[in-house]
Structure 1
Amino acid sequence: MNDGEVLAGGVANAGAIIKIGDEVRRPASAQTELVFSLLEHARSNGFAGVPEPLGIDEQGRERLRYIPGDVAIPPFPKWSLSPGLLASVSRLLRDFHDAVADFVPPANAFWNTELAHPDGGNIVGHNDVCVENVVVRDGQAVALIDFEFAAPTDPLHDLAVLARHWVPVDTQQDAERWGRSGFDVGSRLRIVADAYGIPLGPQRDEFLDRIVRGIHRSGPFVLARIARGEQAFIDMWERSGGQERITRRIAWIDSIRSELSAALNKN
């Protein structure tokens, strides 16, 4: 029996995130100590947009200070497509990157690198800034949560993950599956790049390259978990359209890449 309020959202830990008073309890992992040190470092640098670590409870779960606000979950509400919210999510990630830029993990640190840039990078990023992992208040993003996949990565890779989920970089057909429609991919990508502070030119093309490469690599992460028999990922794969959706999305992004580049670099 749960000893608190079950918080909605998530896939791997669905039903296992519990709110007790002003604390969140969630399953610990081999990376818990590392993640706690990352969060403490960000907070010590003045960044309040991550949970405050409080230790481990008697059941071996992580204890984190609860951050009040709204978290959008599928089917996503209309407010989650607000251009102002999109810009604030991008700014929040930039502020987090700045806060952890001088974080030096132990030499023998063992991170969960499943969603990080394949070649690592010069910061420890979030790597999973999906809609469900951002706390919102008054239409503005105020905190990042769920650092299960935090690991050394490239900042533009981290931002590209955010863009794929929040723009979203998806066909209208597939986005509608999650309650999202009526958005313009190019203009919303421009919002992300502007808010993060990417200058016009080569860096924006590099950002777009990260997005396209990420879409081409999509699938193996979920398929690996399906192969392990994880039912939550089996269900998600089926709900999202499976391999047909991935094939369709790759063909679509390749067909509009030049159009997106022009939108990103428009003066």
Structure 2
Amino acid sequence: MDDEELLTGGLANAGAVVRRGGVVERPAPPHAAALHGFLAGLRAGGFAGAPVPVGAVVDGRERLEFLPGDVAVPPYPAWALGDGALVSVARLLRRWHAASARTPFDAAAHWPDEFADPEGGPLLCHNDVCAENVVFRAGGAAALIDFDFAAPGRPLWDVALAARYWVPVLDPATAAETGRAHLEVPRRLALFADAYGLSPADRSALPSVLEQATAVCRGFVARRVAAGDAAFVDHFTGYGGWARWDRLQSWLSEHRPVLERELRA
């Protein structure tokens, strides 16, 4: 169709997301009914930073409002790596959590557990605030998209997952290999915490939660690779395999005191 645009972005639904005018059509997650009710509740409560569903799920496809703006995809543009983008994402995440906390959700629904907080929590977390899932307008983060991994959890868990992508939390070797060696992890992690407004207790806990979140993300990748998911197998192989994960987990453990000091400061 002439008005159909294939949208690129993350790995999970690569090649399966299309835009037709003001509507995005994509594979519906198993929890679509509960998710759509929650998204509608968010908008009714005044939060415009997430799309609303457009109609019912048909043939396993959901239709959502298209939110205009800029989305950073690899190779990430310089503006997506700056302090301004980092700060605006943290502030958007705080607004999301405030809106989520006042919006009821179906606690009995089968929310996905791939990235879910192992400790559970009182509000619905996004759990995948990567660059491809944030819409920017006028240089600032304005909206979140792709709620396939949304699940109940603690705000701090969502902060840790988002920080992994946006700081980004990388060991020096991986940062150098991906052109991000100039991004200082301790300083930017503290900047993210500042912009979000983390409490002193959560700032102290963040480094250990980062380690926990990294282990959960590794498990997710392992399951996708073991299942033979072509997009993940190709990305995993080209991204250095388990050596990079081992290196990152070792770096996080060794540098926990450094991160703790920076966050306290």
What is the TM-score when the length of structure 2 is the normalising length?
Answer: 0.94
State the one-letter code of the partner of 1:230: D
The more displaced of 1-10 and 213-222 is 1-10
How big is each residue's C-alpha offset from its partner over 1:28-84, in whole Å with a ceiling of 9 and x where there is no partner?
121111111121121122110001211236554211111111111112111111111
State the one-letter code of the partner of 2:261: A
Q: Tell me how far apart the structure 2 counterparts of residues 217 and 144 of structure 1 sit (CA, whole Å).
A: 22
Q: Tell me how far apart the structure 2 counterparts of residues 140 and 233 of structure 1 sit (CA, whole Å).
A: 30
1:75-94 → structure 2 map (5 Å cutoff): 75-94=75-94
Whether the 8 Å CA contact 2:126–2:149 is kept in 1: the answer is yes
Q: Tell me how far apart the structure 2 counterparts of residues 254 and 261 of structure 1 sit (CA, whole Å).
A: 11
What is the TM-score when the length of structure 1 is the normalising length?
Answer: 0.93
Whether the 8 Å CA contact 1:52–1:64 is kept in 2: the answer is yes
Structure 1 equivalent of residue 215 of structure 2: 216
Query: Percent identity between the aligned chains?
Result: 45
Unaligned runs of 5+ in 1: none
Whether the 8 Å CA contact 2:160–2:209 is kept in 1: the answer is yes
Structure 2 equivalent of residue 68 of structure 1: 68
1:163-202 → structure 2 map (5 Å cutoff): 163-199=163-199, 201-202=200-201
1:98-177 → structure 2 map (5 Å cutoff): 98-177=98-177
Q: Tell me how far apart the structure 2 counterparts of residues 17 and 263 of structure 1 sit (CA, whole Å).
A: 40
| Number of positions where the alignment pairs a residue of Structure 1 with one of Structure 2 | 265
Residue 97 (1) aligns with residue 101 (2): no
Q: Tell me how far apart the structure 2 counterparts of residues 2 and 109 of structure 1 sit (CA, whole Å).
A: 38
Structure 2 equivalent of residue 251 of structure 1: 250
How big is each residue's C-alpha offset from its partner over 1:97-116, in whole Å with a ceiling of 9 and x where there is no partner?
11111333335311112101
Structure 1 equivalent of residue 260 of structure 2: 261
Structure 1 equivalent of residue 13 of structure 2: 13
User: What is the Cα deviation at residue 87 of structure 1?
Assistant: 0.8
Whether the 8 Å CA contact 1:114–1:149 is kept in 2: the answer is yes
Q: Tell me how far apart the structure 2 counterparts of residues 87 and 238 of structure 1 sit (CA, whole Å).
A: 32
Structure 2 equivalent of residue 242 of structure 1: 241
CA 1:70/1:5 → structure 2, altered by over 3 Å: closer, same or farther? same
CA 1:107/1:160 → structure 2, altered by over 3 Å: closer, same or farther? closer
User: What is the Cα deviation at residue 154 of structure 1?
Assistant: 1.1
User: What is the Cα deviation at residue 178 of structure 1?
Assistant: 4.1
State the one-letter code of the partner of 2:247: R
Q: CA RMSD in A?
A: 1.8
Q: Tell me how far apart the structure 2 counterparts of residues 60 and 203 of structure 1 sit (CA, whole Å).
A: 39
Structure 1 equivalent of residue 230 of structure 2: 231
Structure 1 equivalent of residue 34 of structure 2: 34
Q: Is the partner of 1:104 in helix, strand or coil? A: coil
Q: Tell me how far apart the structure 2 counterparts of residues 17 and 178 of structure 1 sit (CA, whole Å).
A: 27
Whether the 8 Å CA contact 1:74–1:179 is kept in 2: the answer is no
State the one-letter code of the partner of 2:117: H
Structure 1 equivalent of residue 24 of structure 2: 24
Q: Tell me how far apart the structure 2 counterparts of residues 100 and 8 of structure 1 sit (CA, whole Å).
A: 27
User: What is the Cα deviation at residue 220 of structure 1?
Assistant: 1.2
Q: Tell me how far apart the structure 2 counterparts of residues 67 and 214 of structure 1 sit (CA, whole Å).
A: 29
Q: Tell me how far apart the structure 2 counterparts of residues 7 and 158 of structure 1 sit (CA, whole Å).
A: 25
State the one-letter code of the partner of 1:235: D
Q: Tell me how far apart the structure 2 counterparts of residues 219 and 143 of structure 1 sit (CA, whole Å).
A: 27
The more displaced of 215-224 and 20-29 is 215-224
State the one-letter code of the partner of 1:93: L
Q: Is the partner of 2:19 in helix, strand or coil? A: strand
Q: Tell me how far apart the structure 2 counterparts of residues 217 and 110 of structure 1 sit (CA, whole Å).
A: 19
Q: Is the partner of 1:119 in helix, strand or coil? A: coil
Q: Is the partner of 2:55 in helix, strand or coil? A: strand
Q: Tell me how far apart the structure 2 counterparts of residues 218 and 52 of structure 1 sit (CA, whole Å).
A: 27
Whether the 8 Å CA contact 2:28–2:57 is kept in 1: the answer is no
CA 1:35/1:178 → structure 2, altered by over 3 Å: closer, same or farther? farther
